[in-house]
Amino acid sequence: MLLAFHIGPIQFDQPIWLALVPICWVLTIWIGRQTLSGLGTTSRRIALLVRLMVILLIVGAVAKPQWRREAKNVNLTVVVDASDSVARPVPGPDGKPVELLKRVDLYLDDAANEAKPGDTISRLTAAAKAYVQSLPAAPKEKPDTLFIGATDGTNLQEAVALALSIPAKDASQGAAAKRILMISDWNETTGSVQAAAAQAKAAGVPIDVLPIRYKFDQEVIVERVVTPSQARMGQNVVARVLIHAVKPARGRLSLLINGDQVQLGERPGEMDMQVQLEAGDNVVPIPVTLPNPGATQFKAVFTPETPQDDSIPQNNQSIAVTFVQSQGRVLVIAPSTEEVEPMRRALIESKLDAVVKLPSEAPNSLVDWTTYDAVVLANVSSDQFTQQQQEDLKNYVHDLGGGLVMVGGPNSFGAGGWIGSPVADALPVKLDPPQQRKMPRGALVLLMHSCEVPRGNYWGQQVALAAVNNLSRLDLAGILEYSFAKGDWWVHPISEVGNKSAVTRAINSLTFGDMPSFDNLLNMAYTGLSKADAGARHIIIISDGDPQLLDQTILPKCRAARITISTVLVYPHNRAKSGPDWDTMRRIARETRGNFYGIVDEGEFATLPSIFIKEAQIVKRSLIWEGDAFTPTIVSAVSEPMRGLANAGFPKLSGYVVTAEREGLSVVSLRGKESDPLLAHWQFGLGKSVAFTSDASVRWTVGWPSWGKYRAFWEQHVRWAMRPSGNTDMRVTTEDLGDRTRVVVEALDPQGERLNFVRFAGRVSGPGGASQPVELRQVGPGRYEGVFDSARSGAYLMTVQYTAPGSSEAGAGSGQEARGTVQAAVTRPYADEFRSLQDNAPLGKLIADLTGGRVVSDDPLKADLWERAGLVMPVDARPIWIIVACIALGTFLLDVAVRRIRIEPALIAAAVRRGLGQGVQQAGQQLGSLKEARERAQQSMAPRSDGAAGRRKTSGTDAATAKAKFEATEDELKGAKTNQAVPTFEPEVKKPKPGMGQAQDAAEQAEGGLSRLKKARERAQEKFDEEEQK
């Protein structure tokens, strides 16, 4: 297929069809010479011309013609680097600090004077993520508000991709050519701008660059703190602090272990120490004793003596983590010490270091969770943990090999709001009860109004999902909102939650309209819940509190129907915790015996999901089974944690939280009523978890502490779940490769021999809970290496489970496989943004060269940012095939008309002249002469038409008209009936003699083309007869 091409403003998308034009024209001319031969010369030519035009238009319409309009204006998309490396004041040409972003604004303002009318500008910022600041607008316009997101990174690749995605529009919203201008120091920390530049080049968009130049001459960087990755409790280790100084500098160094400052000075109370730094790398060794087990964090901080010695304070500290080994450290999280006292005693007696904490004291970081070998959650609900804590706990098990034991109670498992939580994934039972289980169910209605909350749509969806995910499949859920198109309506009518797909779809379709009033919606919720077959009925309202509620009857009606309403006031207009919005929301909750929550600050939004989870639990109390004490059924007595327990028989219990069996590798050891799982365990990622759905001996298992196997029961299950420790010696070291880290493991057996063919399964948990696998491959005798991404600042915890082959020669278990876990940590204490001591302008030049862009001038008046040269101007093409086809159709009709209507140039000319006012008299004379000529011709032909004269049927009046017509004779009409190809007219004139003169020609033309056809036929017949006679 040929490519599209254009002739002037007309472009043909399928020009191959145009090849038909010459072919069709030749055929048309050939056919026309025969079919149009009966016409006069002028008529024939015009008819042929019209036919050719018809052909041209039809073929042209088929060739998909477009009306093309080439753009004349340019859209400049400016990408401004707003990362920390640029946002900070940097030394200017005169050495004084310069606010770069302000300078950029001034530069663009001045440069806008050079833009041409119709040109536009759009703006983006680039930091850790890229954001559009304004869509194409007049060059002088500048958006007011800037949201640039996290500034601790530079991702220029994403910025270029985003810049390419902005439609290039000119001032009249028409198409425009695009240039990209990137203003950056070109120190990118993630991504590769070169890859994006290739996309820009492919799109024909040049990238101009304006490098931001700077260089720090006075700077001190604490490069890293080096500590052993693993150590034993009480061991003396040396923390080496690596400090790089551009020029010699003096300052003080301090060291913190898990937040507690270590005394480094010689005098009592002198916590830091004086250090003298030489230009280049400096190492400061600090001997310390490791006080506690678990992950231990070292943090070194350098403070320059004179501020002039240091330019970037953010890189004056560094951290490191050492894993201090201990045996059997277990964290028990419970609502009170009494709740788990028998269990705690049992664990202590089993030589396990059990620590009991309240949920509010739970670890707040992944590093803190790794301090323990196993975690027991005893009758604690999910809303007492933040989403991040739950994510960390899941990663602790899955990626770091930790153990998790969940123990039942009224606030545990599904009854504790854990359904749909990250922790639920780690448990060996499903928290949703089995479908066939007959249980009283609850009904929950969500009334959503979060449109005026920052990121309201996001949070609205998050809280709705949190609530619904927490419901069991038999519960009922309904969602109400105000939609601009539908008004007050059920986004999801009250119905069984089921597999949650329908309600999740409904949540994703929420439009979060600006709700004027609660009146209608609360009445709808009341009506719906009144009809619902449910034990508990509850409504949760999320709103900024400004919808009206003046229907005084609805709240009493809800209270009478035992429908509770909890209200979540989010980001109200009145932040002073009073006012009408507060009053309305408080009143609703108070009068219906629900709960009221007031979330004022955006920083508190993260607690919203947990509020909804907690509120959703109000309708889920039915997940608890309580009744007459029974003896649980032993299903699996041979599994590792159950070994030896079944012999004694299990004591009775009187309650548990209903859960469902999880298919797959989960092993159920004990079952309750209707075969509900009571005790189950499984491996989850690198870790293990255990679920015991009855409680820890305070209400449902009161008799258990006196059971002879009580201590063994808890010890075996907790020890089974705990992270294993090996007896081999795995030395782990890490190496910083920029945005990646190489990890090296040297495997030795207890005798110090190198271990080969060790199998590793490792995962790395990074900042923000991001997890990634790490693959270790053997690269030498007993040496294994792997690499993982570590671009973001923060701590990276690596856990590797190993299986070493048994070898009697090596002594690693006398032929039995050796298993264990090793851990290591890598820290990136500050963003790489703060490592840059000078710009990376050559990268910018490379990008400009790659894309056909320029390194623009520092002088905005010389920069010519809207330069046209080198741009491919876009074309706006609009289909015009329908117009061409219609013209073709009209021309086709013209073709018919030309052959049916006599065209007399002389008459037309006369008419034109008459129209132009050249005298009526002349025209009359001409007409008279024509008339005279025709009469002469008729007279001269009269003797040859005697036979026909008597056959005239026209009246006197008709006779005049008939001079220009033809009448068929009766004989000819008969002939017409037998031969349809014969024209049905018989001309009243005979074949003209040659040389009859102009008047005769004129008369003949006046008789029309059909007579010519007849004559031609007669001539042909005569010729045929002659040949026959010959």
Q: How far is the CB of 990 from other proteins (least distance, A)?
A: 20
Smallest distance, other proteins to C-beta of residue 510, A: 15
- Residue 551 or 604: the one with the smaller Cβ distance to other proteins is 551
Place of tokens 């204006």: 73
Contacts of 909 by beta carbon, 8 Å cutoff, 6+ apart:
none
* Helical H segments across 381-517, by residue range: 387-398, 422-426, 456-469, 501-508
3-state secondary structure of 546: coil
Residue 902 tokens read as: 């006599």
Q: Measured from the CB of residue 991, what is the shortest distance to other proteins in angstroms?
A: 18
In angstroms, rounded to a whole number, what is the distance separating the alpha carbons of residues 682 and 688?
Answer: 6
- Structure tokens of 841? 């302008």
Q: Alpha-carbon distance 894 to 396, whole Å?
A: 84
Nearer to other proteins, 579 or 815 (CB): 579
Residues 836 and 185 sit within 8 Å (Cβ to Cβ): yes
Least distance (Å) between residue 889 CB and other proteins: 5
DSSP E strands, 260-309: 260-262, 273-277, 280-289, 294-304
CB of 580 to other proteins, least distance (A): 4
CA distance 121 to 101: 17
The nearer residue to other proteins, 38 or 191, going by C-beta atoms, is 38
CB 472 within 8 A of CB 565: no
Cβ-based nearer residue to other proteins, 215 or 455:
455
DSSP class per residue in 879-942: E-HHHHHHHHHHHHHHHHHHHHS---HHHHHHHHHHHTTS-HHHHHHHHHHHHHHHHHHHHHHG
Q: How far is the CB of 36 from other proteins (least distance, A)?
A: 10
**What is the smallest separation between the CB atom of 725 and other proteins, expressed in angstroms?**
55
Strands 120-126 and 74-81: parallel
Q: Judged by CB, which is closer to other proteins: 27, or 637?
A: 27
In the bound state with other proteins, the residue whose beta carbon lies nearer, of 28 and 945, is 28
Q: Which is nearer to other proteins, 113 or 192 (CB)?
A: 113
Element (H, E) at 949: helix 946-949
Cα(52)–Cα(539) distance, rounded to whole angstroms? 77
CB of 1015 vs other proteins, minimal distance in Å? 14
Report, in Å, the least distance between residue 888 CB and other proteins. Answer: 6
Contact 296, 257 (CB under 8 A): yes
Q: Where are the beta strands (DSSP E) in 934-1000?
A: none
Residue 340, phi then psi, degrees to nearest 5: -125, 15
Q: In terms of CB distance, is 581 or 695 closer to other proteins?
A: 581
Q: How far is the CB of 916 from other proteins (least distance, A)?
A: 36
The structure tokens listed for 195 are 């890859």
- The number of helices, as runs of H, and strands, as runs of E, in the chain is 27, 46
**SS3 labels along 768-813:** HHCEEEECCEEEECCEEEEEEECCCCEEEEEEEEEEECCCCCCCCC
**What is the closest distance, in whole angstroms, from the C-beta atom of residue 881 to other proteins in the complex?**
4
**DSSP conformation letters of 214-270:** -B-SS-EEEEEEE--SEEETT-EEEEEEEEEESS-EEEEEEEEETTEEEP-SSSTT-
DSSP E strand stretches across 604-752:
624-630, 633-634, 653-657, 660-661, 667-671, 677-684, 687-692, 729-736, 740-748
d(Cα 868, Cα 170) in Å, to the nearest integer?
A: 14
Residue closer to other proteins (CB basis): 133 or 387:
133
Q: Nearest Cα to 626, choosing from 670, 659, 657?
A: 657
CA angle, corner 735, sides to 794 and 817, nearest 5?
100
Toward other proteins, which CB reaches closer, 835 or 1015? 1015
**Shortest gap between Cβ of 465 and other proteins (angstroms)?**
24
Read out DSSP for 127-181?
Answer: SSSEEEEEEEE-TT---S-------S---HHHHHHHHHHS--B-TTS-B-EEEEE
SS3 213: coil
Burial of residue 4 (CB within 10 Å: 0-12, 13-18, 19+) is: middle
Distance CA 1007, CA 991 (A): 12
Q: How far apart are CA 481 and CA 541, in angstroms?
A: 10
User: How far apart are CB 898 and other proteins at their closest, in Å?
Assistant: 13
Q: How far is the CB of 894 from other proteins (least distance, A)?
A: 12
Cβ closest to other proteins, residue 621 vs residue 1017: 1017
Q: Nearer Cβ to other proteins, position 502 or 889?
A: 889
Residues that bind other proteins (CB under 8 A): 31, 34-35, 54, 58-59, 61-62, 64, 109, 112, 134-135, 137-145, 484-485, 487, 513-514, 516-517, 519, 546, 548, 550-552, 573-575, 579-581, 583-584, 878-879, 881-882, 884-885, 888-889, 892, 979-982, 1017
CA 62 to chain centre: 40
| Closer residue to other proteins, CB minimum distance, 59 or 78 | 59
Find the shortest distance in angstroms from Cβ 58 to other proteins: 4
Between CA 96 and CA 100, with CA 98 as vertex, the angle to 5 degrees is 160
Taking residue 117's Cβ as centre, other Cβ atoms within 10 Å add up to 9
